[in-house]
Amino acid sequence: MYPQSTTFGDPRRLSHNAALEKGREYSRRYRSEHPERVHEYQREYRAAHRDEKRECSREWYLAHREKALERDHEYYEVHHEEALERKRKYYETHRDIKRKWQRHYYADHADERRAKAQEWRVAHPEESRAHGLRRRALQAGVTIEPVNASEVYERDHYLCHVCRRLVPARERSLDHLIPLTRGGAHSMNNVALAHRRCNSKRYNSGPAQLLLFHEPAK
Ligand SMILES: [Zn+2]
């Protein structure tokens, strides 16, 4: 049996505290003298306990969801720039993987995508034709300027530049006066309203010189 007054002044307890303190002092010194060994050890420890740690974090997250969200939010407010930078870096290193994934996705959903595109074209016939023209211009590598179809229709008084007759809305098309294939620009000055029928008849048959629109003198 120990005597009653063991809690204070007990030499065994004192030496126990002293030993603890000595141990702490030793480990402090060790850490400061061998930082790389400590890091190495921490890395190994983390690697060995990764799953445990994840499970633990997940449990904590589930139990403290509100708090976690708030914390994340606060973190982003303070580290906004860093977070953006990290995102950018992540995107850069994963770009190829992402592209590959996208290609696969597109290939797997080709029919679906075609159907969607077709739906859009039916719902937006004029925009769709304008897109088509722009794409052809891009492919031809000619100068591209903003072309506003409805402005062209109005400028041309809704008359077809080929047959000079009125063009109903569903038959409207834009015609390049100097064809793109001959280096004509995709620009307000090089497009005119035409029936779709007249347009395709005239396709690539040569510049409609007389009709070229010139910029008003400045
Ligand atoms: Zn016509």
- CATH of residue 146's domain is 1.10.30
CA of 178 to the centre of ligand 1 (A): 17
CA of 163 to the centre of ligand 1 (A): 4
**155 falls within a domain:** yes
* Number of domains present in the structure of the chain: 1
CA of 55 to the centre of ligand 1 (A): 72
193: pLDDT confidence band, cut at 50, 70 and 90? very high
**156 falls within a domain:** yes
**196 falls within a domain:** yes
**56 falls within a domain:** no
**169 falls within a domain:** yes
CA of 84 to the centre of ligand 1 (A): 54
Q: Which residues pair with 192 in a beta bridge?
A: 175
| Spatial CA neighbour of 130 closest among 80, 173, 95 | 173
**95 falls within a domain:** no
**201 falls within a domain:** yes
User: What number of H helices and E strands is found in the chain?
Assistant: 9, 2
List of E strands, 30-133 = none
pTM, 2 dp: 0.43
Convert the pLDDT of each residue in 46-87 to its tens digit: 888 888 888 888 888 888 888 888 888 888 888 888 888 988
Average pLDDT of 13-37? 86
Q: Which domain holds residue 185?
A: 124-211
